[in-house]
Amino acid sequence: MPFITFELNLPTFIDEGIACIERLAYIDPRASFNFFVSCENGLELSKNVNAEDFKLILKDTNLKYMEILCQMNCYGNQID
């Protein structure tokens, strides 16, 4: 399954981060999300969550930076 990662600096770019998550969920409604702050520590969530749950995490965090990982399930589908 393909993965997409992108960096998000918070809170400055929270609106853009949410827009990216919404776009990815539009492309693939089954997309799931996780994040890490440090490669050495690995993923922060014990399992990936859907876009709506991940947006709540973003709105509630006090982190200043994260690398978001999106796991796509639509491999081979046409993207608008």
The tens digit of pLDDT for each residue in 34-48 reads 999 988 888 999 999
| pLDDT confidence bin for 2, thresholds 50/70/90 | confident
Percentage, residues of the chain above pLDDT 90: 80
| pLDDT, mean of residues 63-71 | 96
Which has the closest alpha carbon to 80: 40, 23, 35? 23
**What's the CA gap between 29 and 16, in Å, rounded?**
19
